[in-house]
Amino acid sequence: MNFAAERLEIHKHTDYNTRVSSAVWDENSLAWTLTSDDGRRYRAQFCFMATGHLSAPLQPALAGRDTFAGNTYYTAQWPHKGVDFTGRRVGIVGTGSSGVQSIPVIAQQAKHLYVFQRTPAYCMPAGSRPVPPEEADALKRNFPILKEKAKYQPALSFIEAGEKSIFDYSSEEVRERLEDRWQKGGFPFLQAFTDVMTDTAANDILAEFVREKIRERVKDPTTAEKLLPTTYPLGAKRPILDTDYFEAFNRANVTLVDAKDEPIDCITPKGIIAGGHEYEFDDLVFATGFDAMTGALARIDIVGKGGVALKEKWAEGPQTYLGLGSAGFPNLFLLNGPGSPSVLANCIHGAEYQVEWLTDFVRHLRTTGHKTIDVDSTAEREWVDHVNEVGSHTLFVRTNSWYVGANVPGKPRVFLPYVGFGNYRRKCEETAAESYKGFIVA
């Protein structure tokens, strides 16, 4: 990135242990003052908030949470040296991606593993495998072509997305198509047809396919039944890729504690009481998720023009233009921010596109002799409405998930990402072509 290279002094301040606690805009010097936990202060003309969309871990609101006398681990803050569960009794709360991916691994080591499930998960096989060198070489050679082809794809991904409705195929063709994608593993299964995330009837067909697979994978029919997701559409909570998740429940040392029969009452020094029964263990793992998309920004006191705090401005939900900036917070840019495709697209390539776009914008600012970039509040309001309008046609908004902030008590229910990278890129291109319409350059 040329912009970073031009500003090499940035690297002088690189410190991996620095946690920024506040960022305050100074209207006189037209710069941000950043303060870190250790009291050091930094001045910056521009702030790029690459703070992550799933980087603010949540502690679950469970009675007695901090009374457990054994070791407590959060999947989001896993000890870098690793944890050895050999010979230990372990309890794990949460069966989202982190739980699903930890459970089979912990089960292999632990003496006994108790899995506390509140909502069963739809999982698709990850299909992870060693890639033979010649295949890896071919992929590397083709990478620029694949990247070019993906540019206007809805998820900015290399996946060959289906181009027709599921109802354009016979049931045999649907089955064949799904089975083929299932065997290959990964997200292509979800993208076999155009209407899986917009039409409940289409979604139901894939959801039932996944439930059939769960019934095949889990030997005990009662346990299998408890693991079946039935209360929400497939993909409306973040879809999960698994390796041997359901097979873990075939092991004698794994017990599923399902909230339908045994909701968690509280945590105790010895373990967890669920449905009136106390499950005792040595180690407790929380795989309970994140304050997604806005959590990391909310944990920094960001104060913009006129002393307005970002937290106040976003009290009813995030307001951004293109997910890149928010009116009243000049020269502060969001990467993979709310209101941008972010988590619904390839996040790495999405952020790369935003960095390049913003770099061009900052270069434009400099060449035109200006100092600040702010967002026009009308453009912002229209963009927020557009994000909601597009989201309202999908099944995402009908489900309680972190996509809508439903996993954080008190968080306003707002659909956070923007659906459709292709349209987003076109809108960003138009904006730049029209002298950055919707932004205020001064």
Which residue's beta carbon is nearest to the bound ligand NA7?
96
Is residue 120 a contact point for ligand NA7 (CB under 6 A)?
no
Q: 299: burial class by Cβ within 10 Å (0-12, 13-18, 19+)?
A: middle
Candidate segments 56-64, 201-209, 361-369, 388-396, binder of ligand NA7 by CB under 6 A: 56-64
Interface positions, 7-46, toward ligand NA7 (CB under 6 A): none
405 to 424: interface string for ligand NA7, x by CB under 6 A: --x-----------------
Is residue 275 a contact point for ligand NA7 (CB under 6 A)?
no
Among 91, 271, 289, 295, contact with ligand NA7 (rule: CB under 6 A): 289
Is residue 346 a contact point for ligand NA7 (CB under 6 A)?
no
Beta carbon nearer to ligand NA7, 196 or 373: 196
Is residue 273 a contact point for ligand NA7 (CB under 6 A)?
no
Is residue 97 a contact point for ligand NA7 (CB under 6 A)?
yes
Is residue 287 a contact point for ligand NA7 (CB under 6 A)?
yes
Beta carbon nearer to ligand NA7, 95 or 153: 95
Nearest Cα residue to 332 out of 372, 368, 295, 365: 372
Beta carbon nearer to ligand NA7, 304 or 337: 337
Report the alpha-carbon distance of residue 165 to residue 153 in Å, rounded: 17
213 to 252: interface string for ligand NA7, x by CB under 6 A: -------------------------x--------------
Cβ contacts of residue 207 below 8 Å, gap of 6+?
Answer: 122, 229, 233, 234
Is residue 119 a contact point for ligand NA7 (CB under 6 A)?
yes
Candidate segments 58-66, 126-134, 143-151, 414-422, binder of ligand NA7 by CB under 6 A: 58-66
Is residue 323 a contact point for ligand NA7 (CB under 6 A)?
no
Among 94, 304, 325, 420, contact with ligand NA7 (rule: CB under 6 A): 94
What is the binding site for ligand NA7 (CB under 6 A)? 54, 60-62, 75, 93-99, 118-119, 238, 264, 287-290, 402, 407
